[in-house]
Amino acid sequence: MSNSYATTEGRPTAKWKRFVKSNLLTFLTVVGVFGGTALGLILKNSGTPWTQREVMYIQYPGDLFLRMLKCLIVPLLVSSITSAIGSLDLSMSKKIAFRAIVYYFTTTICAVILGIILVSTIRPGSGRDVSVSGKATTRQVLTADTLLDLVRNLFPPNIIQATMFQFRTILVPPENATGVPLPQYKITSEFTEGTNVLGLVMFSVVLGSCIGKMREKGKPLLGLFESLSEAMMIITSWVIWISPIGVLFLVAAKLLEMASFMEVLGQLGWYFMTVMLGLILHGFGTISVIFFLTTRKLAYPYIGKMSQVLATAFGTGSSSATMPITIRCLDNMGIDPRVTRFVIPVGATINMDGTALYEAVAALFIAQLRNIHLTFGHIVAVSVTATAASIGAAGIPQAGLITMVMVLDTVGLPAEDVTIIIAVDWLLDRFRTTINVMCDALGTILVNALSKEDLAGEANGRLELAEPHELVELRPDQKE
């Protein structure tokens, strides 16, 4: 009797210990975000200005964490997509890919439309006096060139080169010529440093499809990629325990780099609030409604389980760097690994809802500042270009500034106008990256829910084709 009473009394403590143990990393990551904010504000108000070298020392642990995560991107992306596609039959792969692409396209269009409605209603740029400050590295290029480069990068000439470089078009002005229109510039090209994620995704999808088609002959190669994917996830589980420290120092360093947050927010406050309102409405409204209509389940419990993923996305500002942690989180939530390892890498590459919304708002905001009236045709052009630009944006911090140039070109604004919004871009970049990652994760859960019957049917098909001695391992209802 006393033993039973002791066991009953001990249950709350045991449950609490299990809860803390299972959520410890999440708590530490959230503490890292708030701790970094507090540390940055304390150091910033210490009295003496911080030099660039001193800020670099503060950011150094965060840089090491980012380098570790980025090191995992290429092997994890290639092995995950190849093993996921290779383990499914081609008809199943097509269904999952179709559902994922439809979801991503729908949410991106909704994000752009929401951004245009908000910026046209609130009109944050009307009657504002925003000084041009900061520096931005821009290049003169036509929208058509950017879209063509997007397709070119899908088919890299060298797969090894694609792990390190991307192709891009360069327009060079004619010698001793002024006032020459941009379409008449000389066309050249170059390979710039940075992983060609689109090319790697395309190669992995084709290779995975080929392995699936080879069936028995492709099993040894499939086993190699499955083992590599599993190894990358184990290494990821080691690295993510450093995330609270890395996030803390990254956030603190960013706050130290700012000249005056309140002054900047005073100048760009309405623009900042418009983008933030759009991101919140899209993340917790539009996406959640689409999720509920499709799965008949509320998205918020799932979002609550992603707190560590969202905190890491905010701290790093990179959807690609957060990808390993997202995959691990979804695995822990019981999502089919074949779906997770295909949908998440593709989503981290082409699905940038937050970036699409931000670029649409930013382009119309700058037009309002310049008192430029935009026709309905211009607004449609902005929406299409912002959607295309978000697909081409790299999953790295502040990559949206680069693609903003082609959106501004659509409205007829100079590329230098990017400098107007650069002061608050670093902070908005973290919020929109968080929405991007959340949309990817919810999309994976949604696709998994829609594909359950197909995945179960494929598993049953494997049971029928299996040898008798393999059925003990394959049957999910087998009792020990």
Of 67-81, 123-137, 237-251, 415-429, minimum mean pLDDT range:
123-137
Residue 61 resides in a domain: yes
**Cα–Cα distance, 148 to 152 (Å, whole number):** 6
Split at pLDDT 50, 70, 90, the class of 11 is: low
Residue 457 has pLDDT above 70, yes or no: no
Over the stretch 76-119, which tens digit does the pLDDT of each residue have? 878 877 887 787 766 677 788 889 889 988 998 899 899 999 99
Residue 55 has pLDDT above 70, yes or no: yes
Q: What is the CATH number of the domain that holds 351?
A: 1.10.3860
Residue 478 resides in a domain: no
Contact 416, 138 (CB under 8 A): yes
Please give the residue that has the higher pLDDT: either 399 or 350: 350
Find how far residue 37's CA is from the centre of its chain: 22
Split at pLDDT 50, 70, 90, the class of 136 is: very low
- pTM beyond 0.95: the answer is no
Residue 328 resides in a domain: yes
Tokens of 204: 């992995």
**Count of domains forming the chain:** 1
Split at pLDDT 50, 70, 90, the class of 262 is: low
Q: Contacts from 209-212 at CB under 8 Å and sequence distance 24+?
A: 209/85, 209/86, 209/90, 209/93, 211/82, 211/85, 211/86, 212/85, 212/86, 212/87, 212/88, 212/89, 212/90, 212/93
Residue 21 has pLDDT above 80, yes or no: no
Across 268-274, average pLDDT: 87
The predicted pLDDT at position 73 comes to 76
Please give the residue that has the higher pLDDT: either 293 or 3: 293
Residue 95 resides in a domain: yes
- Backbone region of residue 323 per phi and psi (left: phi > 0; alpha: psi in -120 to 50; beta: other values): alpha
Out of 60-69, 280-289, 316-325, 342-351, give the one with best mean pLDDT: 280-289
Tell me which residue range forms the domain holding 226.
Answer: 23-462
% of the chain beyond a pLDDT of 90? 16
Residue 452 has pLDDT above 90, yes or no: no
Residue 70 has pLDDT above 70, yes or no: yes
Over the stretch 373-419, which tens digit does the pLDDT of each residue have? 777 767 777 777 777 666 655 555 555 655 676 677 666 676 667 76
In degrees, to the nearest 5, what angle opens at C-alpha 85 toward C-alphas 83 and 86?
60
The predicted pLDDT at position 23 comes to 67
Please give the residue that has the higher pLDDT: either 335 or 125: 335
The predicted pLDDT at position 476 comes to 41
Residue 40 resides in a domain: yes
Contact 358, 403 (CB under 8 A): no
Over the stretch 184-195, which tens digit does the pLDDT of each residue have? 788 888 888 877
Q: For all residues of the chain together, what is the average pLDDT?
A: 78
Work out the burial of residue 453: count CB atoms within 10 Å of its CB; fewer than 13 is exposed, 13-18 middle, 19 or more buried: exposed
Tokens of 21: 């143990």
Residue 14 resides in a domain: no
Distances in Å between the Cα of 190 and the Cα atoms of 158, 202, 245, 250, 399 are: 14, 21, 37, 32, 18
Across 150-172, average pLDDT: 87
Across 293-300, average pLDDT: 92
Residue 3 resides in a domain: no
Across 328-338, average pLDDT: 89
Residue 468 resides in a domain: no
